[in-house]
Amino acid sequence: MSEEVIPWLLEPKNSSVRYWTLRAILGLSANDPQVVEARAAIPNTKDVLAILAQQDPGGWWDTQERATGIKRASGQLLILSEFGMPPDERADKACEFVLSKPWLPMRHPVCIVPCYTVNCLRFLSHFGFGEDPRVHQGWQTMTEWLDRDEGLLCWYQKQRPCHWLAVKGLWAFAVAPEVVDVRAVIARTAEALLSHRFDFQGEESRWLRFGFPWYFQSDLLDALEALAAWGYAADPRFHELAQYVVAKRQEDGRWLQEGGCATARVERTGQPSKWITLKAMRVLKSMEREATG
């Protein structure tokens, strides 16, 4: 662990990173005064205010015709949920807008891909809609979808397995309500990621360009975080992949922003990134916890 970077991550300028550092790296409880203070400050941070300033009073971003897209309601809500923004009336309106549009997997009359659905499940649960009957249908649909041999096959990649979907699915099911039994689908999805032999020297080299935020795409760091959330940090294959994360650490203990959605980046490409450093440290922290029991 890079103890020297923790004060940098705890700077109050970025309350979201500060909040997640207090919780995930320092292990403070949700009721700790520092944690409560940091979370309360998130809605008033620069990045959150910039997103909320673009929201229409009706709840959408960009257009009221569609919710899909990083610059539209689904993408903005996903980012806000990763920021740790608490639920409020603005988020409620946006979630209701998303639920008013097609969001479960289908080919006709519109094409809704399953990675969109699991992204929606992730932020809908974060903002308090996880047990809504409409969202429960989504949990059921995606549990059945991913618990099939062909569950990861992608419509846009000539029916090849989509490992981005695997990552998005693990993140979504990590916040599923207890009434949803996801054990079988988690085991299948995690195994699909851990057993895949990534071609980091070829067409899968982009998995090593760590970025934040992502929408449909992902990277190795994001994948390892999702796997760690389900207790796979002790798996030898996890350790093998984590070496790529360690190798990208800079001499000052920080990691750089290299990827992410170009139209929604919150940090400069090629510069030290608080978000990527936080994510990398969470991965290493999970391995440390598994090693010490």
Could you tell me which of 159, 155, 165, 255 has the C-alpha nearest to residue 218?
165
259 phi/psi in degrees, rounded to 5: -130, -145
Summary count for the chain: helices (H), strands (E): 13, 0
Q: How many other C-beta atoms can be found within 10 angstroms of the C-beta atom of residue 148?
A: 11
Could you tell me which of 181, 168, 198, 190 has the C-alpha nearest to residue 81?
168
Provide the pLDDT for residue 166: 97
Q: What is the DSSP letter of 194?
A: H
Q: Is the peptide bond before 102 cis (omega within 30 degrees of 0)?
A: no
Cα 31 from Cα 37, distance rounded (Å): 10
Q: Where are the beta strands (DSSP E) in 188-285?
A: none
Contact 113, 69 (CB under 8 A): no
Contact 18, 11 (CB under 8 A): yes
237 phi/psi in degrees, rounded to 5: -70, -35
Provide the pLDDT for residue 121: 98
Provide the pLDDT for residue 159: 83
**Segments of the chain scoring below 50 in pLDDT:** none
Q: What is the pTM of this model?
A: 0.96
Provide the pLDDT for residue 289: 87
Provide the pLDDT for residue 2: 63
Could you tell me which of 208, 209, 212, 207 has the C-alpha nearest to residue 275?
212
Q: For the chain, what is the radius of gyration of the CA atoms?
A: 18
Condensed to tens digits (0 to 9), the pLDDT of residues 254-265 reads 999 999 998 898
Provide the pLDDT for residue 4: 82
Provide the pLDDT for residue 28: 97
Cα 214 from Cα 206, distance rounded (Å): 13
DSSP labels, 150-163: TTTB-GGGTT-B-H
